Amino acid sequence: MKITKIIELTDQNFKENVLVSKKYVLVDFWADWCGPCKILSPILEDIAHEYYKKIVVGKINIDMNKKIPVEYSIRGIPTLLLFYHGKIIGTKIGVMSKIDLKNFLDSKILF
């Protein structure tokens, strides 16, 4: 079993882990009750392992953290926001295949 490389984000640590980060950060807005979020979760685990030198993957539970989802107008989950130097450079809403997620990341990340 692999050890997760996904960080748990909260209203309290979002700024230090995402907004002031000098790395690409992929943020997954999710909830325990969300079926599509559960489908996306193992894909994000794989991405976190495959892209660990390029990006940081973080998850923020919208039920336990109310401030950040409102701040970013999250209306549906799963929602993925890709940040670079504190700015959103890409958005994906809904479940997607690993190939689609990799294509999205590869189109946004400068190697």
Residue 37 bears catalytic tag: yes
The overall pTM is greater than 0.75:
yes
Q: Active-site residue 34, yes or no?
A: yes
The backbone torsions φ and ψ at residue 17, rounded to the nearest 5 degrees and listed phi first, read -90, -20
Which residues make Cβ contacts (< 8 Å) with residue 42, sequence separation at least 6?
none
> Looking at the domain covering 6-108, what would its CATH class be?
alpha beta
Q: Given pLDDT bands bounded at 50, 70 and 90, which one contains residue 110?
A: confident
When pLDDT is averaged across residues 28-37 and rounded to a whole number, the result is: 98
Q: Active-site residue among 9, 25, 37, 105?
A: 37
Q: Is the pLDDT at 2 greater than 90, yes or no?
A: no
Nearest CA to 28 among 92, 102, 110, 84?
92
Report the mean per-residue pLDDT for the chain: 95
Residue 111's pLDDT is 64
Q: Sorting pLDDT into bands at 50, 70 and 90, what band is 107?
A: very high
| pLDDT per position as a tens digit, 63-105 | 999 999 999 999 999 999 999 999 999 999 999 999 999 999 9
Q: Which of 9, 18, 27, 34 is catalytic?
A: 34
- 104 φ, ψ (degrees, to nearest 5): -60, -50
Those residues whose C-beta lies under 8 Å from the C-beta of residue 84, and which sit 6 or more positions away, are 23, 24, 25, 108
Would you list the domain boundaries of the chain? 6-108
